[in-house]
Amino acid sequence: MEWMANSKRQDIRKVMPEVRTIISVALNYYTPHQRPSTEEYAKISRYAWGRDYHKVMHKKLKALTTWLQGFHEGIQARYYADTGPVQDKVWAQKAGIGWIAKNGNVITREYGSWVFLGEVLTNLELESDRPHTEHCGTCTRCIEACPTDAITQPFVVDANRCIAYHTIENRNEKLPQTVTSDLQGWVAGCDICQEVCPWNQHFAKETDVAEFQPYPGNLAPKLVELAQISDQEWDRQFPASALRRIKPDMLRRNARANLDAFHQAKE
Ligand code: B12
Ligand code: SF4
Ligand code: SF4
């Protein structure tokens, strides 16, 4: 993830020198489906169950940008959602959407943390909301639940230990042993630190975005099938999906690592 060092991430004016306002948005993606609990099934994170969120967010943000620009020809506006050198979580907290929580995600009071984040940068000067205050309190559930101890201290997620990083971003042929023994069925991201969060347990609501309803096959794929999925089958099974970032060889590797870990645990 070398792109993280991009200096634009630290200074929003390097992204758009004329910027006067950042409009921060969150889009709920929760659906009430649950995964089967037996070992034979692979676990795919909720963010990747339905249509690729980049496509959904970009369409909505484009509409907002066009609407804004329609007010005056001098209005400039540009949108981002997990795509540019913009720190989505930092701006969401500053704009009062939610707080950066101990598990590293932004939690909203209304929907918990099952929200995607995005922004419109504009040269329009708008009145700002107040930054959100933090409401994790003394809770440490996510830190205790993380199987790889990736939350090394409250609010700090060490990507090198995180199952989400290794299953989505790590392109090596093999995953490190520090992670493989604790994968617990995850092949695409990891939702453990969000699932245990009381805010999600109490405030998650079903999304009204139909495109986020899970594709058939994403809720309960079998590990043995993913471990040998062909490139063609991968292409057919994951259309317009955020899962396409996880190339077929990575998905096979992730599924195999889980199967190996289960076999070793039984020996
Ligand atoms: C890189 C990345 C990852 C990496 C690394 C995560 C990481 N720790 O950085 C990996 C692949 C591991 C990952 C995993 C996930 N990600 Co991700 N990821 C990103 C991305 C592209 C950049 C995040 C970033 O800036 N990291 C840099 C490090 C240094 O920051 P950080 O650890 O997140 O937090 C630090 C800062 O917030 C800083 N900080 C805190 N307060 C303040 C205030 C100020 C003013 C400043 C300057 C800094 C600051 O200190 C923190 C601790 O060092 C963002 C999209 C974006 N463009 O912002 C999505 C994003 C954060 N991811 C997202 C999601 C959904 C996930 C997963 C839940 C997916 C999944 N189910 O597997 C997991 C969650 C893992 C976890 N517990 O955090 C969503 C989160 C939505 C939300 N509600 O918060 C985002 C916002 C994408 C989006 N647009 O919706 N992700
Ligand atoms: S996503 Fe999974 S591995 Fe990463 S910090 Fe959360 S619980 Fe730990
Ligand atoms: S589980 Fe507790 S500490 Fe972790 S993010 Fe949720 S409220 Fe914060």
In 178-265, the DSSP E strands lie at 186-188
Ligand 3 atom 7 nearest Cα: 136
The answer, yes or no, to whether any atom of ligand 1 lies below 6 A from the CB of 179, is no
Domain boundaries, the chain: 2-35+48-122, 141-202+214-266
Query: What pLDDT shows up at residue 261?
Result: 94
Nearest to 207 by CA among 12, 31, 60, 13: 31
Average pLDDT on 45-67 reads 98
Query: What pLDDT shows up at residue 1?
Result: 58
Ligand nearest to the CA of 141: 3
Strand, helix or coil for residue 256 = helix
The answer, yes or no, to whether any atom of ligand 2 lies below 6 A from the CB of 27, is no
- Give the Å distance between the CA of 211 and the centre of ligand 2: 26
pLDDT in tens, 170-196: 999 999 999 999 999 999 999 999 999
pLDDT in tens, 129-152: 999 999 999 999 999 999 999 999
Residues contacting 187, CB < 8 A, separation 6+: 42, 43, 44, 167, 221, 223, 226, 246, 251, 254, 255, 258
pLDDT at 83 over 90: no
Average pLDDT on 233-243 reads 94
- Give the Å distance between the CA of 73 and the centre of ligand 2: 45
Task: Give the span between the Cα atoms of 95 and 198, in whole angstroms.
Answer: 23
The answer, yes or no, to whether any atom of ligand 2 lies below 6 A from the CB of 163, is yes
The answer, yes or no, to whether any atom of ligand 1 lies below 6 A from the CB of 10, is no
Task: Give the span between the Cα atoms of 168 and 152, in whole angstroms.
Answer: 20
Task: Give the span between the Cα atoms of 204 and 264, in whole angstroms.
Answer: 36
Query: What pLDDT shows up at residue 11?
Result: 83
- Give the Å distance between the CA of 156 and the centre of ligand 1: 10
Query: What pLDDT shows up at residue 9?
Result: 62
The answer, yes or no, to whether any atom of ligand 1 lies below 6 A from the CB of 227, is no
Q: Which atom of ligand 2 is the closest one to the Cα of 186?
A: 2
Residue 153 has, within 13 A of its CA and on its CB side, a CA count of 0
Average pLDDT on 73-95 reads 94
The answer, yes or no, to whether any atom of ligand 2 lies below 6 A from the CB of 193, is yes
pLDDT at 34 over 60: yes
Query: What pLDDT shows up at residue 97?
Result: 98
Of the listed ranges 10-14, 217-221, 258-262, the least confidently predicted one is 10-14
Task: Give the span between the Cα atoms of 226 and 221, in whole angstroms.
Answer: 7
Q: In the annotation, is 149 catalytic?
A: no
Ligand 1 atom 20 nearest Cα: 82
* Portion of the chain with pLDDT greater than 70, in percent: 96
